[in-house]
Structure 1
Amino acid sequence: MRRSVPYDGGSPGSARDPAAAWPAVQALLRARGAGETKHPGGTLLDHLDRVARLLAEWGAGPDLQAAGLCHAMYGTDGFDHALMGTDERALLAELIGERAEALVFLYASCDRAVVYPRLASGRPVVFRDRFTDGEHTPSPPDVRAFVEITAANELDVLAHDPDLAERHGPTLHRLFTRSQDLLSTPARDACERQLGRDSLGRGRGTGSPA
């Protein structure tokens, strides 16, 4: 298990608008192998691009779009293939800004087996950090951003892998239905359209490996 390194500030660089840094972020993703890493629907880079575009379609702001583009930078609980170490957080923050990077880290550090049931059961949501096993309570905007990225990520993965859709679709449908207060209206509608048809089936696990 990698050690969590908290990011304690530092210069956010010139990327006040995270979208302005996307060419540099794309270059970093390619340099770290995202374009050669296999993932449902092509490569990891393809997946990251699609997630960012989907968030944009749902009306997400630049910070959330940038976090979606970079959500797998430190690996995730379902796809533990890190492109950067958590000791490189300042580098990513310089490219996309501190707010967007903090969302990337929140997404990466989530212990899904613990947090997903909490998303569906009450507020506030207490997170478990899978790197440290510590717990903390993110702000409501951060939790909403986390769930929005989660929805975009899972919908893209399941759209490109029928086997994962069959195995995990019903479980994810229940998760997003029970936590719908944390989703934007476009995201909530998209989850219902894509996952609702499988809601009577039997899903397993806490999410797809992505």
Structure 2
Amino acid sequence: MLDAEVYRDDLVRLGLHKIAHQDESLIDHMFRVCSILQDMKAKEQVCVAGLFHGVYGTEGLHNDDVESIPDHRRAEVRRVIGPEIEQMIFNFSVMSYASLGKSFRNVMRPKGVPELKDRRTGEDIPLEREQFLDLLRMKLGDVLAHLPQQVGHTVLDVPTEYAGFWKTAAEWLGPDAISTWNKTTSITGGQLWIDPEEI
């Protein structure tokens, strides 16, 4: 099992402990995403990508400089986690959320293929079906990590706000994703519960 703590110094060196992310630091959010992905039994490379998913920003947050992610920054991240995981993080950072939804609808069809788009250029991000499902799983972990940890929070309750889409994604990703969804959303008093017997 991945020991995410071995990457803490690298994340600090990249400056992620200094970035605010809603009601916490970005680094704390990224550790929670990694933990959720581990609970979901995601592949280790997906868990590591989840741990680093905010290093370049995303469409939703910290995306001011996404147009010009410097090559030296990408090289620095590649040295820490390798080229395959870095590419996954880069794709996660530059993808448009609209194309994520469209791609998911496509892959729900037997021969459907993802049509993920780079939100900066509108160009296709070429992905195999399994690579797309890894990104979808990583985004589900990110969404669940945005669930408010306590009553009286000041953050957007992303899972509840977009529950229809993300419940369907959890169901599509299988029993481990459903189990993690149910554990993580239990704070809602069962409003977002997925009954595994009905799948």
Cα deviations by residue, 1:39-59 (Å, 9 ceiling, x for unpaired):
245211101111111211221
Residue 136 of structure 1 pairs with residue 125 of structure 2: yes
SS in 2 for 1:158: coil
AA at the equivalent of 1:56: Q
Contact 1:21 1:96 in 2 (8 A): no
Contact 1:41 1:47 in 2 (8 A): no
SS in 1 for 2:18: coil
2:101 to 116, 131, 153: 116
Against the structure 1 CA distance between its residues 103 and 197, is the aligned structure 2 distance closer, same or farther, given a 3 Å change threshold?
A: same
User: 1:73 maps to what in 2?
Assistant: 55
Against the structure 1 CA distance between its residues 138 and 53, is the aligned structure 2 distance closer, same or farther, given a 3 Å change threshold?
A: same
Cα deviations by residue, 1:86-118 (Å, 9 ceiling, x for unpaired):
523222122112221121111111101232244
1:85 to 59, 69, 82: 69
Instruction: Using the TM superposition, name which of 153-162 and 38-47 deviates more.
Output: 153-162
AA at the equivalent of 1:85: I
What is the aligned-residue RMSD (CA, Å)?
3.0
Contact 2:30 2:53 in 1 (8 A): yes
Which sections of structure 1, spanning at least 5 residues, go unmatched? 1-18, 200-210
Q: Considering Cα pairs closer than 8 Å and 6+ residues apart, tell me whether 1 or 2 has the greater RCO.
A: 1
Against the structure 1 CA distance between its residues 41 and 58, is the aligned structure 2 distance closer, same or farther, given a 3 Å change threshold?
A: farther
User: 2:146 maps to what in 1?
Assistant: 157
Contact 1:74 1:85 in 2 (8 A): yes
Contact 2:19 2:25 in 1 (8 A): yes
Task: Calculate the TM-score normalised by the size of structure 1.
Answer: 0.71
Residue 178 of structure 1 pairs with residue 163 of structure 2: no
AA at the equivalent of 1:93: R
AA at the equivalent of 2:35: R
- How far 1:177 moved relative to its partner? 3.3
1:60 to 18, 42, 46: 42
| Alignment length (residue pairs) | 179
Residue identity (%): 20
AA at the equivalent of 2:134: A
Residue 96 of structure 1 pairs with residue 78 of structure 2: no
Contact 1:173 1:191 in 2 (8 A): no
Contact 1:74 1:86 in 2 (8 A): no
Which sections of structure 2, spanning at least 5 residues, go unmatched? 194-199
Instruction: Using the TM superposition, name which of 47-56 and 185-194 deviates more.
Output: 185-194
Against the structure 1 CA distance between its residues 110 and 86, is the aligned structure 2 distance closer, same or farther, given a 3 Å change threshold?
A: farther
AA at the equivalent of 1:177: K
SS in 2 for 1:197: coil
Q: Distance in 1 between matches of 2:167 and 2:106?
A: 11
SS in 2 for 1:155: helix
2:159 to 160, 169, 180: 169
Q: Distance in 2 between matches of 1:40 and 1:51?
A: 14
